[in-house]
């Protein structure tokens, strides 16, 4: 019988949950745990059978920018097709709007959602391309300076992504915390300024360590965030920033690039398609 318990702190259970997430990632490619345990704060649901952890769910009670609480749930690959996924969804009873991630858009997740009366509310596409001979752009850029540019980047980010459930709420403290991560590279963080020296756009790149189960076991570059101030949009700045980052990742010797983009962001999809990106996979949010 499934025993599901909510806790506010994992404590010594974090090791057990980490092992479960690693087993899930080995099969599904998600969640990403290279930067450490991915779920902080909120509430944690531990689902066990005869003392063995078979499922885990995290509920972000702070929610996204639009007031939705956001959940992610995982069932150990050795314990799937036993109804545990549906039981975890049923345990996610909250007051107010709820969104639940389904990474990879697996048919099993869609079936569980249908049985639980959930509707498809959001698609986050992962696009992929092999490196190409991307052209140079006649635009002057500089790279990010730690301790100097955080506020300027956050200001542009907030205006550029005021419509986005997560990205637009990024804070200076969160950006500074990211600077301490091993993958952070200021030389791959490009800034565009206007004639008065004000930051009006940026392209933040990322390099993922090699994963033997993905992309042929090679490290992979990512177009992590491209943000352009609304006052500077429409003149090709976003494309120029994107190209600068792509060439940087190529020159680092990377052969494959990925990026995440909202499924309904038609202008961005058109730009990335012209640059050679194709749909690789999709993460879905279901609404409760």
3-state secondary structure of 189: strand
36 is in an annotated binding site: no
Distance CA 185, CA 207 (A): 9
Confidence (pLDDT) at 163: 94
CB of 132 within 8 A of CB of 251? no
- Say how many residues make up the chain: 288
Please indicate if the annotation marks 239 as binding a ligand: yes
Statement: 128-282 belongs to CATH 3.40.640.10:
no
* Average pLDDT per block of 10 residues along the chain, 288 residues long: 93 96 90 85 96 96 93 96 94 90 92 94 97 89 98 98 94 96 96 96 95 86 97 92 97 97 93 95 93
Residues of the chain with CATH 3.40.630.30: 2-117, 128-282
The pTM of this model reads: 0.90
pLDDT for residue 211: 82
Q: What is the CATH number that goes with domain 2-117?
A: 3.40.630.30
Residue 178 confidence (pLDDT): 95
Identify whether the C-beta of residue 84 lies closer than 8 Å to the C-beta of residue 46: no
Which sign, positive or negative, has the C-alpha torsion 55, 59, 65, 66?
A: positive
Tell whether residue 237 is among the known ligand binding residues: yes
35 is in an annotated binding site: yes
Phi/psi of residue 156, nearest 5 degrees: -65, -45
Q: Is 166 annotated as a binding residue?
A: yes
The reply to whether 222 sits in an annotated binding site is: yes
* 22 annotated binding-site participant: no
pLDDT number for residue 288: 77
Residue 30 in tokens: 């998600």
The predicted pLDDT at position 250 comes to: 97
Burial bucket for residue 2 (CB in 10 Å: 0-12, 13-18, 19+): middle
77 contact partners, CB below 8 Å, separation of at least 6: 23, 24, 26, 27
- Check whether 226 is labelled as a binding-site residue: yes
């Amino acid at each position: 019988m499934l025993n599901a318990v909510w806790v506010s702190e994992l404590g010594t259970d974090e090791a057990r949950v980490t092992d479960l997430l690693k087993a899930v990632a080995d099969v599904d490619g998600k969640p990403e745990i290279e930067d450490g345990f991915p779920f902080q704060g909120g509430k944690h649901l531990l689902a066990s059978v005869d003392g063995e952890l078979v499922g885990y769910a995290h509920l972000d009670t702070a929610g996204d920018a639009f007031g939705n609480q956001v959940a992610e749930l995982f069932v150990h690959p050795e314990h799937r097709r036993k109804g545990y996924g549906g039981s975890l969804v049923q345990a996610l009873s909250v007051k107010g709007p709820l969104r639940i991630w389904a990474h990879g858009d697996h048919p099993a997740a869609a079936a569980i959602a249908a049985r639980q009366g959930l509707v498809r509310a959001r698609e986050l596409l992962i696009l992929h391309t092999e490196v190409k001979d991307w052209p140079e752009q006649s635009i002057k850029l500089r790279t990010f300076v730690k301790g100097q540019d955080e506020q300027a980047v956050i200001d542009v980010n907030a205006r550029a992504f005021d419509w986005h459930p997560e990205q637009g709420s990024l804070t200076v403290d969160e950006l500074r915390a990211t600077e301490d991560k091993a993958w952070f590279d200021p030389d791959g963080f490009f800034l565009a300024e206007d004639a008065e020296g004000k930051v009006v756009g940026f392209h933040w790149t990322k390099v993922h360590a090699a994963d033997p189960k993905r992309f042929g076991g090679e490290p992979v570059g990512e177009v992590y965030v491209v943000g352009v101030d609304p006052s500077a949009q429409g003149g090709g700045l976003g494309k120029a920033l994107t190209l600068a980052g792509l060439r940087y990742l190529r020159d680092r010797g990377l052969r494959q690039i990925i990026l995440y983009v909202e499924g309904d962001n038609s202008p961005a999809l058109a730009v990335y398609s012209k640059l050679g990106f194709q749909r690789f996979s999709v993460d879905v949010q279901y609404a409760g």
